Structure 1
Amino acid sequence: MWTEEAGATAEAQESGIRNKSSSSSQIPVVGVVTEDDEAQDVFKPMDLNRVIKLLEETDKDGLEEKQLKFVKKLVQCYQNGLPLRDLAQIFKILNLCSGKIKNQPRFIESAYDIIKLCGLPFLKKKVSDEITYAEDTANSIALLGDLMKIPSSELRIQICYQQASSSYKIQMAEVGGLAKTMVQSMTLLENQLVEKLWVLKVLQHLSTSEVNCTIMMKAQAASGICTHLNDPDPSGQLLFRSSEILWNLLEKSSKEEVIQQLSNLECLLALKEVFKNLFMRGFSHYDRQLRNDILVITTIIAQNPEAPMIECGFTKDLILFATFNEVKSQNLLVKGLKLSNSYEDFELKKLLFNVIVILCKDLPTVQLLIDGKVILALFTYVKKPEKQKIIDWSAAQHEELQLHAIATLSSVAPLLIEEYMSCQGNARVLAFLEWCESEDPFFSHGNSFHGTGGRGNKFAQMRYSLRLLRAMVYLEDETVNKDLCEKGTIQQMIGIFKNIISKPNEKEEAIVLEIQSDILLILSGLCENHIQRKEIFGTEGVDIVLHVMKTDPRKLQSGLGYNVLLFSTLDSIWCCILGCYPSEDYFLEKEGIFLLLDLLALNQKKFCNLILGIMVEFCDNPKTAAHVNAWQGKKDQTAASLLIKLWRKEEKELGVKRDKNGKIIDFENLPGLSAEDFVTLCIIHRYLDFKIQATHKQRELANKSWEDFLARTSNAKTLKKAKRLQEKAIEASRYHKRPQNAIFHQTHIKGLNTMVPSGGVVTVESTPARLVGGPLVDTDIALKKLPIRGGALQRVKAVKIVDAPKKSIPT
Structure 2
Amino acid sequence: MLDAGAAGTVCLHMNSADPPGRFLSCCSEILWILLDSSGREDAVAQLCSLDCVVSLKEAFSSVLALTSQGFDLQLRNYLLVFTTLIAENPNCPLIESLFAKQLLGYITLPELEISSAQKLTHSKEDLKMKKLLLNLLILLSRNVAAAQLFREELVMVSLLRFVAPPKKQPSLPQSAILSQQEELQLQALETLASIAPVMLQDYMGCQGNTHLLLLLDWCCDARDRRKLQMQRCIRVLRAVTSLGEQSVNQDLSDQGAIHQLLGIIIQLEDVCDEGDAVTIEMMSNIQLILSALCETDLHRKELFGSEGVEMVVHFLKKGSENFYHGLGHNKLLISTIDCVWSCIVGCCITENQFLWKDGAGLLLDLLRSSPRCMHGIILSILLDLFNNPDTRPLILDWRDADGRSAPSVLLQLWRDQEEELGVLRDENGGIADPEKPLLTRFQDKISNLSFSANAPSAAVLETMENLRGKIYLLLSRLGFQDLPGLSVEDHVTLGIVMRYLDFKVCEVWNEIRSELSLDDVKPVTSDEKALHSISMTLMGKAQSVKEEQIRILEEQKQQEIKEEIRIYAEMKSHRTQEDLAAKSWENYVARTSNYNILKEEKARRKKHLKSKLKPKEAPGDRPPKNFITHIMAMKTTGEPGPSGVEVSLARTVI
Q: Same fold (TM over 0.5)?
A: yes
Q: How many residues align?
A: 481
Question: Which is worse superposed, 655-664 or 568-577?
Answer: 655-664
Identity percentage of aligned residues:
37
Given the superposition, is the C-alpha separation of residues 334 and 308 from structure 1 closer, same or farther in structure 2, using an over 3 Å criterion?
farther
| Matched residue, 1:269 | 54
Q: 2:416 aligns with which of 629, 644, 649?
A: 649
| Matched residue, 1:285 | 70
How many Å apart are 1:733 and its aligned residue? 7.5
| Matched residue, 2:27 | 242
Matched, 1:396 2:160: no
Give the 5 Å matches for 1:135-284: 216-234=1-19, 236-284=21-69
Given the superposition, is the C-alpha separation of residues 547 and 381 from structure 1 closer, same or farther in structure 2, using an over 3 Å criterion?
same
One-letter amino acid matched to 1:488 = G
CA distance in 1, matches of 2:4, 2:181: 45
Q: 2:330 aligns with which of 555, 560, 563?
A: 563
Q: 2:141 aligns with which of 360, 364, 370?
A: 360
Q: 1:662 aligns with which of 418, 427, 431?
A: 431
Q: 1:550 aligns with which of 304, 310, 317?
A: 317
Q: 2:150 aligns with which of 350, 355, 369?
A: 369
CA distance in 1, matches of 2:9, 2:240: 44
How many Å apart are 1:740 and its aligned residue? 2.7
- 1:752-791 residue CA offsets vs partner (Å, 9 max, x unmatched): xxxxxxxxxxxx999524479999xxxxxxxxxxxxxxxx
How many Å apart are 1:252 and its aligned residue? 1.2
One-letter amino acid matched to 2:262 = I
**Which structure has the bigger radius of gyration?**
2
Q: 1:430 aligns with which of 213, 216, 235?
A: 213
Q: Alignment partner of 2:363: what SS?
A: helix
Q: 1:421 aligns with which of 190, 194, 204?
A: 204
| Matched residue, 1:493 | 261
Q: Alignment partner of 1:621: what SS?
A: coil
**Contact 2:50 2:93 (8 Å CA) reproduced:** yes
**Contact 1:436 1:459 (8 Å CA) reproduced:** yes
One-letter amino acid matched to 1:662 = I
How many Å apart are 1:557 and its aligned residue? 3.3
Give the 5 Å matches for 1:346-745: 346-387=127-168, 394-438=177-221, 456-501=224-269, 503-506=270-273, 509-551=276-318, 553-659=320-426, 662-663=431-432, 736=503, 738=505, 740=507
Q: Alignment partner of 1:430: what SS?
A: helix
CA distance in 2, matches of 1:688, 1:301: 45
- 1:196-249 residue CA offsets vs partner (Å, 9 max, x unmatched): xxxxxxxxxxxxxxxxxxxx1111111111111111111633212211121121
**Contact 1:382 1:432 (8 Å CA) reproduced:** yes
Given the superposition, is the C-alpha separation of residues 773 and 543 from structure 1 closer, same or farther in structure 2, using an over 3 Å criterion?
farther
Normalised by the length of structure 2, the TM-score is: 0.67
Q: 2:121 aligns with which of 340, 360, 369?
A: 340
CA distance in 2, matches of 1:553, 1:515: 19
CA distance in 1, matches of 2:26, 2:297: 62
Q: Alignment partner of 2:93: what SS?
A: coil
| Matched residue, 1:701 | none
Q: Which has the higher helix share?
A: 2
CA distance in 2, matches of 1:626, 1:672: 40
Q: Alignment partner of 2:296: what SS?
A: coil
| Matched residue, 1:97 | none
How many Å apart are 1:500 and its aligned residue? 2.6
How many Å apart are 1:671 and its aligned residue? 13
Matched, 1:311 2:78: no
One-letter amino acid matched to 2:261 = M
CA distance in 1, matches of 2:99, 2:368: 58
Q: Alignment partner of 1:260: what SS?
A: helix
Given the superposition, is the C-alpha separation of residues 540 and 688 from structure 1 closer, same or farther in structure 2, using an over 3 Å criterion?
closer
**Contact 1:629 1:638 (8 Å CA) reproduced:** yes
**Contact 2:275 2:327 (8 Å CA) reproduced:** no
How many Å apart are 1:739 and its aligned residue? 6.4
CA distance in 2, matches of 1:296, 1:235: 21
Normalised by the length of structure 1, the TM-score is: 0.55
CA distance in 2, matches of 1:548, 1:671: 40
- 1:491-544 residue CA offsets vs partner (Å, 9 max, x unmatched): 11112122333x324397222211111111111111111101111111111110
Question: Which is worse superposed, 290-299 or 243-252?
Answer: 243-252
CA distance in 1, matches of 2:203, 2:442: 58
- Return 5+ residue gaps in structure 1 as ranges: 1-215, 443-453, 693-723, 744-763, 776-811
Given the superposition, is the C-alpha separation of residues 740 and 542 from structure 1 closer, same or farther in structure 2, using an over 3 Å criterion?
same
How many Å apart are 1:684 and its aligned residue? 10
CA distance in 2, matches of 1:520, 1:347: 34
| Matched residue, 2:646 | none
CA distance in 2, matches of 1:421, 1:487: 13
How many Å apart are 1:651 and its aligned residue? 2.2
One-letter amino acid matched to 1:268 = V
Q: 2:84 aligns with which of 285, 299, 312?
A: 299
What is the RMSD of the two structures over their aligned residues, measured on CA atoms? 3.7
Given the superposition, is the C-alpha separation of residues 232 and 507 from structure 1 closer, same or farther in structure 2, using an over 3 Å criterion?
farther
- 1:119-171 residue CA offsets vs partner (Å, 9 max, x unmatched): xxxxxxxxxxxxxxxxxxxxxxxxxxxxxxxxxxxxxxxxxxxxxxxxxxxxx
**Contact 1:217 1:253 (8 Å CA) reproduced:** no
One-letter amino acid matched to 1:411 = S
